[in-house]
Each structure stands twice: as C-alpha cells, then as structure tokens.
A and B are shown apart, each in its own frame.
Chain A
Amino acid sequence: MVTLKINDHQVKVAEGTTVLDAARSLGFNIPTLCNHQDLCVAGNCRVCVVEMKGARTLIASCAMPASEGMEIYTNSLKVRNARKHIVELLLSEHRADCTKCYKNQNCELQTLANEFSFGEHIFLDLVAGRPYEIDRSSPSFVKDDSKCIRCQRCVRTCAELQHVSAIAVANKGSHQKISSFHDRPMSHVVCTNCGQCVNRCPTGALVEKTYIDQVWDAIYDPDKHVVVQTAPAVRVALGEDLGFDPGERVTGKMVTALRQLGFDSVLDTDFTADLTIVEEGTELLTRLKRVLVEGDKSVALPMFTSCSPGWIKFIEHKFPHMLSNLSTCKSPQQMFGALAKTFYAEKRGLDPSKVVSVSIMPCTAKKFEADRPEMRSSGFKDIDYVLTTRELAVMIKQAGIDFLSLEDEKYDSIMGASTGAAVIFGATGGVMEAALRTAYEIITGRSVPFSNLDVVPVRGMEGVKEATIKIEGTKEDWKFLEGAELKVAIAHGLVNANKLVKAVSTGKASYHFIEIMACPGGCLGGGGQPIPTNMEIRKKRMEAIYAEDTHMAIRKSHENPEIVAIYKEFLEEPNGHKSHKLLHTRYVKRESY
C-alpha cells in the first residue's frame, strides 16, 4: 500500500494504482480521452494531466503509478490552463459539425468542450483546407478522419482485443493518422467489421453505418410487410441507452416499442438460435459419426461455430486452410432471413418480394453478413436492413416513446417462440451450453448432467475456456460414443480466438467442438451495443442473460414447439435437403492484409 495526498486529502491505495484511479477513489474526477478500461495505457491525449509537487512538468495521471508521499493537485491553475489548451488543440484538428454528427450528444470530445472550451476558440482551424477522407466502403461502419483526434483507442482495440490490426498508426508529425494498410478502403482489408473500435471511439470518427431512414421508409410504405427480429443480447443492453442501468432486462418493453414503431410483426432471433442448435448439433454428430465410425478422413474436426460474422471474416482472412472446420450453418440472423421470405411469407400468405426483413443486432458485422452474396437463398436479399442496439434506441427516441413506462408485451408468432437455450447465445459459452443441452439428450435420451441444466464450466469471462463431457448410457444409434469424452473449447474476443485456433492448427490442442465469438464477452459485448461497454458492464449484461434463461419455461432448443412444428411442416429433417438450401452456407478465402 502507498499513501499519497490528492488535493490535500490523504489516501491509501494498493501499489500499482494509477494517480487517476486514486483520485477517483476520493471522488475527484479527472477527465480522460485516450484512456479506456479494456485497453492498455497510452498516455497520449494528455487531457488527464495533473500537477505533482516537485515535478518539472505536469504528469499524465492515467499513466503514473501512485507512489509514497506524492502530492497531487488535480485542479490547480496550471492544470486548468493546460487542460483548456489541450481540449482546444483537439478541437482545432476536429471537424466539429456537431449538429450534423451522428455522435452529437454522445461524444466525449463534445462533453469536454462543454466543460473547458466554451466561447471563442483560441486556436486556428486546422481542418479547413486540409484534405481528408471519409471511408464509406464498409457496409458496417464509416471512418471519418476529419473527426479523428488520434487517441488510438481504435488501434489498441484492433490489436489488443481482436489481434487483427486492420488499422494502425501511420506517418508522423502533422501527417500522423489512423490508417489501414496503405490507405486501402476498409472494405478491402482484413477488418472483420466487428465494430469494437466503433464502440470505443470517443468522437464521430468511427460510427456504424446507419440504416434508420431506410427502415422508417419501409415501415411507412403501405405495400411492404416489415418483420423485425431481435438478437438475444439486445434485450439485456437496450435499456442502457434509454435510461436504465446496465443489466436491466427489457425484453417485454422492447417488443412493445417495436410494435409502436410500426413493425408489422415483431419476432425473435432466438427462434432461429434454437433452430441453429438443432442444425449445428446434428452436423456435429454427423461429423463425429463419419470420423469415428466410417473413418472418413475428409471430414474436418474440431468443428467451429459459425454464428459470429466477425469471426467468420477473421478465419477467412487469417486461417483460410481451416474453413472446412467451420460449421456450414448460417448464423441465426441469416437463417431467420431465409425463412422470413419463404416459410413465413408462405404461411402468412405474403408476396415475399413485399416482405422487408429487419434485424436488431448487438453487432456491426451483421450488416456485412447481410450483404454477403451467399445470403440470398430465399431468392431475395434475405435480410434487408440490420440495425444495431444503438440505432434501435435512436428510433425509439425519434418516435417519442416513453420507454421507461412501457408495458411488457410478447413476441408475435410464428417465429417468435424461443427457449432459454437460445437467449444464452448472447453470452460467451452460450452456444456451447445450448448445443450440449440438446446433443447430450439426443445421444443419451437424458438431460445434460449438470444441475438445473446450467453447464457452468463453459460460462464466464475467461478468454479461453475448456470442458470435457463424458458420454455414458448412449442410445442405440450412438453406441459408438459410449464412454467417449467430448472435448470442447470456447473463445471470445478474436485475440483469444487466434490463440485457440493457432493451438488447434499446430496440433498443440485437440477438441471436437469449439465455440468462437468475435467480441469480448460474446454478443453482449458486441460492437453495436450501447456505449460505453467495458468489463463491468459486460458482466452485468451476462448476469441478465442467464437470468433470462432461468426464467424461460422451456430451456432446450429441441423442445421449442415452433421448432418441432417447422420441421414437421416445412424443413422435414435437420440437415435435410431444404435445410441445406436455406440454412447452410459456404465460405471464401480472403487476402491476408
């Protein structure tokens, strides 16, 4: 422990605590910009400078460990003057068209400007007359260098959390910028569209590409039947943008709000999450059978999950030789899209060309996924528009809906029924847990051997998780698995995915089934979720997800009555002919840069 004084108040903190955290523990707030809980310390924006007695210069409180006897002043005249200058300098290289900006009212630089820099600006505008680029090439996000303040949060995110480094710092001095490989369009580099950078950008330099207006147009078009699906992780985070604390489950209110916005049918991605489990579970068991019984060398194991479009693009760029390990199952969003314009349209007597399919996702990569050429198996673009959780919140605000006081309503049918196994798709380990609940039962006829169906070893925030499930008491068809140990692993955040896939591809580890989610914490920590997202908030959303599961009447995917029905009425059998046409896909090798 070390003792120091901050603004003449004594405080004792653990060794290694930063001056910033020590000050905050006393209730002295110090503004920050480049600092982010999920990322390493940069100390480059200098907004958090404070005065340290005896030091020649001010110090960056985020980067300075507290030490014995330090005397710190967080709000001295020197500090205030420097801070005002720094904020003004940042503003001078930032294209501040705030009223036109998507991040208006949600911009950390704007907040600092409000506090430190009202009135006339001191410094000359450096943006005017300097060429800048706005990269709109990605379907998922827009990169606007004229709003960038070089805090490098995005660069650290892409490197530290995702091991992608699609963007890096380039050039030096006044030419320094955040750049893709040799300034190529973001759509033509290794970027996975995960949106973790978007979630961490303090300004409007990185924002999701929004489709709000297109969705409004569709809603108001009397010829169109607009269906909306909501991903599992949206319901545990949407509230944060609309006045609730993190961790609030707002499923019922969200359904009500969507109905009030004017969607013709409010449906649930959870339905196709359950469908994914049946399809993917069957695929896994088939692969195991072909390898273990038939000795088929052409079948790749372990099998990787394929729900996360950021992960899919990652493996397509980085490990193209392992594409055959990916499950061929489409993600729940895309299964839903394919069914909405076939099965659903047919059942409801609709012309599929008049059906507009909208999804609400915690994710920006889903926008890219919906645009993939493979995703047109209904004969149309299976998903027309993807909105993030944040965009839905904007629509709810635009419509003047008092979200806090809404009554709870239920999803429409058909394709609105779901189980607890589906909702946990939103958390890392959730797909694995749901798959185990179903697969174990298919093999043995009994529930998965964990109390209350909670497969605890696959849960939690550990970067890479492993579990082994011993299979005993198999049914006749699955005798070849008797006594076998099913080895599974889970990774979330692409930096962990990279480690795990490397271990597998070099033969250092072997598993049967691996779940991978591109974002830290899984979809609940997705790039399209409310800002801020950090470990504390991810944990709260995770608790909410598992609470949602516990409260569901049915908690196994194969028991979802609408799933049972769709096989009977439409799909006929898992991995069957129709499934392959509508619910499965293929992957492409991509460049390494």
Chain B
Amino acid sequence: MYHTGNLVKDLAEKHGRKRESLMPILQDIVRKHNYLTDEAMVEVATELDISAAEVYGTASFYTFLDTVPRGKNVIRVCKTITCSMKGKIEIINAIEETLRIKVGETTPDRMFTLLETNCIGWCHKAPAILINDMPYTDLTPESVVDIIKDYMRR
C-alpha cells in the first residue's frame, strides 16, 4: 500500500479534469506506484467528478492498469504464439526459480511481480519480456536470470 499524498491533485492539474484526462492520470499513477489503490481511484473519481465504479471499470479494462498490489518491478512474459513456440515456458521456469514465486505472484519484499501478457511486438526476437516499460528479447533461461539479477542489484 502507498499513500497518494498530493499526487492525484497534481496530476489533475497537469492533465486536466475532463473525462479524457482519466487515462493519462491513471497511467501516471501506475508509472509511479505500479498499481492503483482503491484510495487512488476514489481520489481520481472525486477530482474528475465521475463515479468510482466508472474509474474502476475503466482501469480494469486495461491490462497494464492493475488494481491489485504489484511489486516495484513488474515482469510481463509474452505468452502469445511465437514466444510460446520459442521457449516461453523455460523463461518462466527460470524466473520462477530465481524469484521463488509463481506467475501472478509478487515477491515478499515487493520487489518483483511475475505476470504473463499478450503479444508485445517482438515475435522476431522471441522469447521476449517486458520489465516495467523495457523490453528484453532473444532471451534464454540464462540471460533472463542475469537481467533479473541486475534489477535486484539496482
């Protein structure tokens, strides 16, 4: 859990208080905190004068606008056809073993969340993953562990 403080108000000042401001505001909150708390969604609803259920309904439509707690680093493993063909399972196994969590889970220290996602547009360099915004491609079980260890050191 995090507290939003002045964040939502500041974002409303930056992006405006129209309905079209909703996505940029939610995206910026997620960029900073990796997921949306109920508190944040209620604040956004209040700022934009729309219902909280509407905010939740909109956020829950978008895969990247998570409404459940996520770790500092969100790993999304592409599960669509080419990545599946090119060793997605081995990549997931390697990450699961390194972080000692299963897909859908977050490490106890809240540093990593492991998820699957649909096609991220790197089929020619499969298998591929996103860690937060950054794509990593042409992965092997060894290279992905190195990448994650690098994030651990950050």
Query: Which residue numbers of A lie inside 8 Å of B, CB to CB?
Result: 159, 164-172, 179-182, 189-190, 592-593
Contacts and interface: CB of A to CB of B under 8 A. Distances in A.
A190 B60 contact: no
B51 A164 contact: yes
B112 to A, nearest CB: 24
A574 to B, nearest CB: 39
Interface string B78-102: 0000000000000000000000000
Contacts of A190: 51-53
B23 interface: no
21 contacts: A165-B51, A166-B51, A168-B53, A168-B56, A168-B57, A170-B53, A170-B56, A170-B60, A170-B61, A171-B61, A179-B53, A179-B60, A181-B41, A181-B51, A181-B53, A181-B55, A182-B38, A182-B56, A190-B51, A592-B52, A593-B52
Contacts of B143: none
A181 B51 CA distance: 9
A167 B55 CA distance: 11
B54 A593 contact: no
A181 B52 contact: yes
Given A181-B41, A182-B38, A182-B67, A593 B60 contact: no
A592 B56 contact: no
Given A182-B38, A182-B41, A172 B51 contact: no
Q: Which interface residue of B41, B46, B53, B60 has the most chain A CB atoms within 10 A?
A: B53
A486 to B, nearest CB: 32
A592 B57 contact: no
Given A181-B41, A182-B38, A182-B67, A593 B57 contact: no
Contacts of B22: none
B42 interface: yes
Given A170-B53, A181-B42, A592-B46, 6 more contacts: A166-B51, A168-B58, A170-B60, A171-B60, A172-B61, A189-B53
Nearest to A163: B51
Contacts of B57: 168-170, 179
10 closest cross-chain pairs (CB), A and B: A168-B57, A165-B51, A593-B52, A168-B53, A181-B52, A181-B53, A170-B60, A170-B57, A171-B60, A168-B54
A166 B61 contact: no
Given A170-B60, A172-B61, A182-B67, A165 B54 contact: yes
B77 interface: no
Q: Which interface residue of B41, B51, B56 has the most chain A CB atoms within 10 A?
A: B51
B45 interface: yes
A182 B45 CA distance: 13
B50 interface: yes
A411 to B, nearest CB: 42
A42 to B, nearest CB: 15
Given A592-B42, A592-B45, A592-B46, A166 B53 contact: yes
B53 A593 contact: yes
A593 B45 contact: yes
Interface string B107-145: 000000000000000000000000000000000000000
Contacts of A169: 57, 61
Interface in B17-71: 38, 41-42, 45-46, 50-58, 60-61, 67
Contacts of A165: 50-51, 53-54
B53 to A, nearest CB: 4
Contacts of A189: 52-53
Contacts of B54: 159, 165, 168
B64 to A, nearest CB: 12
A179 B54 CA distance: 9
A342 B61 CA distance: 54
B53 A167 contact: yes
A168 B58 CA distance: 9
Contacts of A172: 60-61
B60 A180 contact: no
Contacts of B60: 170-172, 179
A217 to B, nearest CB: 37
Nearest to A165: B51
Nearest to B68: A182
Given A166-B51, A172-B61, A593-B51, A179 B56 contact: yes
Contacts of A182: 38, 41, 56, 67
A318 to B, nearest CB: 10
Contacts of B56: 168, 170, 179, 181-182
Contacts of B67: 182
A165 B52 CA distance: 8
A164 B45 CA distance: 12
Contacts of A179: 53, 56-57, 60
Contacts of B41: 181-182
A593 B51 CA distance: 7
A221 B41 CA distance: 50
A189 B52 CA distance: 9
B70 to A, nearest CB: 15
A189 B55 CA distance: 14
A189 B41 CA distance: 14
A172 to B, nearest CB: 5
B53 A180 contact: yes
Nearest to A183: B56
A593 B38 CA distance: 10
A189 B56 CA distance: 13
B118 to A, nearest CB: 10
Contacts of B55: 181
Nearest to A593: B52
Nearest to B62: A172
B69 to A, nearest CB: 13
A536 to B, nearest CB: 29
Q: Which interface residue of B38, B42, B52, B61 has the most chain A CB atoms within 10 A?
A: B52
Nearest to B45: A593
Nearest to A176: B61
A434 B108 CA distance: 65
A179 B57 CA distance: 7
A346 B7 CA distance: 61
Nearest to B59: A170
A172 B38 CA distance: 19
Contacts of B51: 159, 164-166, 168, 181, 190, 593
A417 B61 CA distance: 55
Contacts of A180: 53
B83 to A, nearest CB: 20
A169 B46 CA distance: 19
Contacts of B38: 181-182
A9 B58 CA distance: 44
B57 to A, nearest CB: 3
Q: Which interface residue of A166, A167, A182 has the most chain B CB atoms within 10 A?
A: A182
A593 B46 CA distance: 9
